[in-house]
Amino acid sequence: MEALTTLTSRTLIMPAANIDTDQIIPARFLTTTTRAGLGSRLFADWRYAADGSPRPEFILNRPEAAGARILVAGRNFGCGSSREHAPWALLDYGIRAVVSTELADIFCTNALKNGLLPVIVDEATSAWLLAHPGVEVTLDVAAMTLALPDRRTVRFPLEPFARHCLLQGIDELGFLLEQRPAIEAFERRA
Amino acid sequence: MAPRTLFEKVWSAHEVSAETADTPAVLYIDLHLIHEVTSPQAFQVLRERGLPVRRTDRTLGTMDHSTPTLTSQVFGGAPIAVDSAARQVAALERNCTEFGVELLALRHAQRGIVHVIGPELGLSQPGKTIVCGDSHTSTHGALGALAFGIGTTEVGHVLATQCLLQRKPRTLAINVEGALGRGVTAKDLILGIIGQIGVAGGTGQVIEYRGSTIRGLAMEGRLTVCNMSIEAGARAGMIAPDETTYRYLQGRPRAPRGADWEAALERWRALPSDPGAHFDREVHVNATRIEPMITYGTNPGMVIPISAAIPQRPGDAAFARALDYMGFTAGEPIKDRKVNVVFVGSCTNARLSDLRAAAGVLRGKRIARGITMLVVPGSQDVKRQAETEGLDRIFTEAGAQWRESGCSMCLGMNGDLVPRGEYSVSTSNRNFEGRQGAGARTLLASPLTAAACALTGRVTDPREVL
């Protein structure tokens, strides 16, 4: 996992609530046996018409989307299926953080396991960001802050161990493997 | 000791180490179910790190998501038509052989949808922790297990260590009282609950379904209720084990036997929430008010009684967009809307009682002209039992297609798709845009309602045909 300490980027806005993982990456693209290459399928059914041509009105097809690494979405983003292909597709496209008032549990867990930062903010901050598409903001993982262009800073919650892993660029498997003596003791007790 | 909930009892019995301010709990997993779509990348991690599967005896593989349902492709020697599905099936076979994991492969007599076969084999048991790389793992909570869906990275964690790092979720009691009316099923109940608490109403929480209505449900109905906990955003859904649970489990192929059964019963009887146990939140549901339910929008919370009109929400752009996708108008009745496809299947509603319910409506009748109806049993075992009872004949004589088991048209990975723009009344669990195929329009309902719609070719209240 690639470490993430701070991230400064313009935002990309998707205001709809309840954007589900079937929209993020439709099931017919879950056919890979690797993690790479899903970025071109991200939001495929909103992004492309039935004939495969890009829909010009969709945010990812607009010039201002180019290079944006922070997605600001309506509440309950990532609901539905547990497919880790959703964060894989977002990361492969270039998104490194998702900001919302609420993120679905499994999506949030999957995101953190892959270095995609989930940022939960209050209604007012979310509403402001959604009303100001493309502003440049800065995320600071160590401080757990989101800095807005008007110099306001809002804090967001981040599970301490996930934060540690993000900052160090390490995955959790190493930690779990180190628990082996405790796991063996548990298995003897059980 | 302070009174504890069912969830707290199962959780604390599986803590290898409790959570601290800096680290999550290390939670031991009793049963890990794997399938072909969310496991390949996890096995690859094991391979890269030179790790074995820690407990092959606690791991079981099946194939369901992308597998064909046409008999010719499952048993007849015809190649699997969808190339990517064929690759995933082959990858799972290879991975299970290499790592020594038991696999109920494509032609195995006990293969089926992962959330159907766990309970059916008697592997899903009260008090167990059960995970699978699939969000509908919440299903197994109907037996009093703590069961939840995980992503592929976590599949790798469990394969390698039999453990997960977890923060303890909050608890939500959903108390359901009152009798379900005629034609109202467990599916209608859970759709009604999701309509009441919303698609994010359970986020960060483990639901315990309680009350006289839940106690009165048969095991298969309870599985349907817990299955859709994730559609309310919940981490898991649980129902306390009782005599219904024990009767269901006793004698199943992998349930405990003899003295082990007696010992298990003693453990299981201690699991239900203690009187006075505290839940972080409680919700009350009056079951007598629930009618046959049907969804009209693009998430499972957009649900109404089948006799009601589609709601009006002026100024709500997302709502308008959803209705536009569905081709519906706010304020119009949903009844009598045209239907093109009917799907009876999925981990939500493809057990024997579901097939009996649908067959009961169709017995001796024909489905409407122009309707495509797929009946896809939840497992090969369900299929055999249904055939023993002659349900397959009822379906085929009515004009429906009778298939091999699998997830099929619930998510359309295997090529069983609803054509663009068409309306599907489906007993599955998600009506998201494109879920059953690009541009497909899904109306979620019970098997009774789905069969009633197949008869008339229109959205039909099952009480009119019962």
Instruction: Identify whether the C-beta of residue B465 lies closer than 8 Å to the C-beta of residue B455.
Output: yes
Enumerate residues 106 to 125 of chain A having a beta carbon within 8 A of any beta carbon in chain B: 106, 109-110, 113-114
Phi–psi pair at B72, nearest 5 degrees: -60, -35
B150/A30 touch (CB, cutoff 8 Å), yes or no: no
Instruction: Identify whether the C-beta of residue B226 lies closer than 8 Å to the C-beta of residue B238.
Output: yes
Q: What is the pLDDT of residue A35?
A: 81
Domain boundaries, chain B: 6-166, 170-288, 293-464
Out of A20, A30, A172, closest to residue B299 by CB: A20
CA A4 to chain CA centroid, Å, is: 13
Sites in chain A below the pLDDT cut of 50: none
Residue type, B126: P
- Give the 3-state DSSP-derived string for A22-79, with helices as H, strands as E and coil as C: HHHCCHHHCCCCCCCCCHHHCCHHHHECCCCCECCCCHHHCHHHCCCCEEEECCCECE
A182/B318 touch (CB, cutoff 8 Å), yes or no: no
B165/A26 touch (CB, cutoff 8 Å), yes or no: no
A179/B163 touch (CB, cutoff 8 Å), yes or no: yes
Instruction: Identify whether the C-beta of residue B454 lies closer than 8 Å to the C-beta of residue B367.
Output: yes
Chain B residue closest in CA terms to A1 = B153
A31 touches chain B (CB under 8 A): yes
Distances (CA, A) of A155 to A119, A158, A168, B466: 9, 10, 20, 57
Beta strands in A68-144 (DSSP E): 70-73, 97-100, 117-120, 136-140
Distance CA B166, CA B12 (A): 12
Tokens of B12: 């604390």
- Name the residue with tokens 């192929």: B253
- Strand B15-17 to strand B25-28: parallel, antiparallel, or no bridges (unpaired)? antiparallel
- Name the residue with tokens 């009876």: B344
B86 touches chain A (CB under 8 A): no
A76/B233 touch (CB, cutoff 8 Å), yes or no: yes
Distance CA B446, CA B466 (A): 14
Contacts of B160 in chain A (CB under 8 A): 173, 176-177
User: What CATH topology corresponds to A6-189?
Assistant: Aconitase; domain 4 (3.20.19)
**Contact residues for B83 (Cβ-Cβ < 8 A; gap 6+):** none
Q: What is the pLDDT of residue B117?
A: 98
Tokens of B332: 């119009």
Q: Give the minimum alpha-carbon distance from B366 to chain A in angstroms, rounded to a whole number.
A: 32
User: B324: buried, middle or exposed (CB in 10 Å: 19+, 13-18, 0-12)?
Assistant: exposed
Q: Quick one: which of B406, B318, B383 has its CA closest to B112?
A: B406
* Same fold across B170-288 and B293-464: no
Predicted confidence pLDDT, tens digits, chain B (466 residues): 899 999 999 999 999 999 999 999 999 999 999 999 999 999 999 999 999 999 999 999 999 999 999 999 999 999 999 998 999 999 999 999 999 999 999 999 999 999 999 999 999 999 999 999 999 999 999 999 999 999 999 999 999 999 999 999 999 999 999 999 999 999 999 999 999 999 999 999 999 999 999 999 999 999 999 999 999 999 999 999 999 999 999 999 999 999 999 999 999 999 999 999 999 999 999 999 999 999 999 999 999 999 999 999 999 999 999 999 999 999 999 999 999 999 999 999 999 999 999 999 999 999 999 999 999 999 999 999 999 999 999 999 999 999 999 999 999 999 999 999 999 999 999 999 999 999 999 999 999 999 999 999 999 999 999 8
- Strand B31-34 to strand B129-132: parallel, antiparallel, or no bridges (unpaired)? parallel
Q: What is the pLDDT of residue A1?
A: 84
List, in sequence order, every residue forming a beta bridge with A10; answer none if it has no partner.
A136
Tokens of B284: 């009350």
Please count the residue pairs, one from chain A and one from chain B, whose beta carbons lie less than 8 angstroms apart: 169
pLDDT digits (tens, 9 = 90+) for B299-353: 999 999 999 999 999 999 999 999 999 999 999 999 999 999 999 999 999 999 9
Q: Give the minimum alpha-carbon distance from B112 to chain A in angstroms, rounded to a whole number.
A: 19
What CATH number belongs to B293-464? 3.30.499.10
Distance CA A11, CA A6 (A): 15
Instruction: Identify whether the C-beta of residue B302 lies closer than 8 Å to the C-beta of residue B36.
Output: no
- Strand A6-14 to strand A70-73: parallel, antiparallel, or no bridges (unpaired)? parallel
Q: Give the minimum alpha-carbon distance from A51 to chain B in angstroms, rounded to a whole number.
A: 12
Q: What is the pLDDT of residue B440?
A: 98
In B18-161, alpha helices (H): 40-49, 71-74, 83-99, 114-120, 152-161
What value of ipTM does the predicted structure carry?
0.96
What CATH number belongs to B170-288? 3.40.1060.10
CATH architecture group of domain B6-166:
2-Layer Sandwich (3.30)
In B134-272, alpha helices (H): 152-161, 186-197, 212-215, 219-227, 243-249, 258-269
pLDDT digits (tens, 9 = 90+) for B96-112: 999 999 999 999 999 99
